[in-house]
Amino acid sequence: MSVSDEQRSASPSEYAGANAHAFGPGRHLRSRSKVLPEHARGHNRALVLQTLYHSGAMSRADLSRETGLTRVTISDLVAEFIADGIVIEMGVREAVGPGKPPILIDIDRFGHQIVGLDLSGPDAFTGAVLSLDGDVLERREVPRPKSPDGEAAYAALRELAQTLVEASTQPLLGVGIGTPGVVRPDGLVLSSPNLGWTNFPLEAKLGVDLDLPVLARNDANAAVLAEYTFGEAKADFMLIKIGKGVGAGLITGSQPLLGSRFAAGEIGHVVVGTDGGPRCACGKDGCLEAWLSVSRLEAAIAADPEARDEILRDAGTRMAIATAPIVAALDLSEVVISGPAELLDGILIEAAIATLRARTLEGVFEDVVVRLTHQEDIVLRGAAVMVLSGQLGVS
């Protein structure tokens, strides 16, 4: 019987407060860098927290078995985590053999919270206080500035963040932000035309203003992390986020793909086909975003309700034409779509599946899945994964 089986069969009273949440094993983002001796300690810390996060409460002996680290190393690390307030003892499990019943330990899931912010909405910046398991506990929003104005956008987001910090009821592990635009790994927004930011040090500035750790990423890159950690996604997939704009986040080999300009997944302004198409906000004709954004689909259907099916079929076809080379080049197993189900589920996704099949190598890519994500608040939850990953090495 595995450790997690034992936990499931134990009655709740046997270890008061033990968390019912346990995410599937092996959902961690893999590090491609080699573990050097001086990094081993940090690596071991992350490994222990990762194991506890996904498997739930367990004894030090279980943890040693699961991680392959010695009991002495586990004891030292756990003592350190307890002193830091990251891990707590949860009580004892009923003894199954002779000897002292083991004390169960777990990440202090109720002793910390995370603030997540989503700047991708058409009318409002939304935010939430989240649990370490990614559940939304409190929700707030502020109106989004009507026109691109970097200062006004920052003022609105800071106000939202401060309101949420005040609404939190436990010490905060950090603040995560998903924003439209191209974002460097250190949280500097290289370019976000809709918000009026160019080379804007979002992470550093808000970190000083809030006096908390802040992490900022592109909104689709945040969403893909949420799907990876909390959803059912595989090790190689892309998530296409369809809202005011269209963008994608990619995970390959269990690792976020950023690219040479940190712009991997910026597929919204790729022109699809050579036959023109709707005029895009960027000035070109037939960008993927011009076919597929929620506002474009809604406007086209409102203008000609009888053509609804055809409009959705065209959009799904164009999405797959743009996606097929990416699926083939990276050998992805899934394309996950995030956006309003009433528009995207059904005709649009069916057209995308048919087109993807028709445009990729027979016998190889036939099992590629195209589906809608089940997750709501995907950017907020992704922002929580950013903080978990950045602060604890957990994802």
Angle at Cα 181 formed by Cα 175 and Cα 184, nearest 5°? 65
Closest separation in Å from C-beta 300 to Zn ion: 16
Window 285 to 304, contacts with Zn ion (CB under 5 A): 287
Residue number, 284 or 359, with CB nearest to Zn ion: 284
Contact 242, 263 (CB under 8 A): no
What are the structure tokens assigned to 257, written together? 């793909």
Does the footprint of Zn ion cover residue 269 (CB under 5 A)? yes
| Cα–Cα distance measured from residue 81 to residue 74, given in angstroms and rounded to the nearest whole number | 10
Stretch that binds Zn ion, among 92-100, 233-241, 273-281, 317-325 (CB under 5 A): 273-281
Total chain residues near Zn ion (CB under 5 A): 5
Write down the least CB distance from residue 277 to Zn ion, Å: 10
Cβ-contact 221, 265 below 8 angstroms: yes
Q: Using CA atoms, how far apart are residues 117 and 135, in angstroms rounded to an integer?
A: 14
Candidate ranges 88-96, 223-231, 266-274, 315-323; the one touching Zn ion (CB under 5 A): 266-274
3-state secondary structure (DSSP) of residue 124: strand
Contact 370, 316 (CB under 8 A): no
Region near Zn ion per CB under 5 A, out of 143-151, 205-213, 277-285, 325-333: 277-285
For Zn ion, the closer CB: 261 or 374:
261
Closest distance between Zn ion and the C-beta of residue 285, in Å? Answer: 9
Give the one residue of 119, 220, 242, 280 binding Zn ion; rule: CB under 5 A: 280
Would you say 157 or 246 has its CB closer to Zn ion? 246
Regarding 244 and contact with Zn ion (CB under 5 A), the answer is no
Segment contacting Zn ion by CB under 5 A, of 57-65, 251-259, 272-280, 347-355: 272-280
- Residue whose CB is less far from Zn ion, 111 or 278: 278
Tokens of 135: 């559940």
How crowded is residue 131: how many other Cβ atoms within 10 Å of its Cβ? 17
Tell me whether residue 59 or residue 323 sits nearer to Zn ion (CB atom): 323
By CB under 5 A, is residue 276 in contact with Zn ion? Answer: no
Amino acid at 287: C
Quick one: angle between helices 347-358 and 308-330, nearest 10?
A: 40
Fill in the per-residue mask, 52 to 91: x = in contact with Zn ion (CB under 5 A), - = not in contact: ----------------------------------------
* Residue span binding Zn ion (CB under 5 A) among the ranges 11-19, 278-286, 307-315, 354-362: 278-286
Q: Which is nearer to Zn ion, 270 or 353 (CB)?
A: 270
In whole angstroms, the minimum distance from the beta carbon of 289 to Zn ion comes to 5
Judged by CB under 5 A, which of 16, 35, 40, 282 binds Zn ion?
282
Nearest approach in angstroms of CB 271 to Zn ion is 8
- Burial degree of 357 (CB within 10 A; 0-12, 13-18, 19+): middle
Rounded to the nearest whole angstrom, what is the least distance from the CB of residue 6 to Zn ion in the complex? 54
Beta carbon nearer to Zn ion, 22 or 287? 287
- Separation in Å, CA 224 to CA 202, 229, 321, 333: 21, 9, 21, 14
Angle, in degrees to the nearest 10, between helices 60-67 and 71-84: 120
Residue 271: Cβ-neighbour burial (10 angstroms; 0-12, 13-18, 19+): middle
Q: Which contacts qualify for 10-15: CB closer than 8 Å, 24 or more apart?
A: 10/93, 10/94, 14/91, 14/92, 14/93, 14/94, 15/57, 15/90, 15/91, 15/92, 15/93, 15/104
Are the CB atoms for 12 and 41 separated by under 8 Å? no
- Number of H-type helices and E-type strands within the chain: 13, 16
In whole angstroms, the minimum distance from the beta carbon of 222 to Zn ion comes to: 22
Nearer to Zn ion, 127 or 268 (CB): 268
Q: Supply the minimum distance, in Å, between the C-beta of residue 162 and Zn ion.
A: 35
| Residues in contact with Zn ion by the rule CB under 5 A | 269, 280, 282, 284, 287
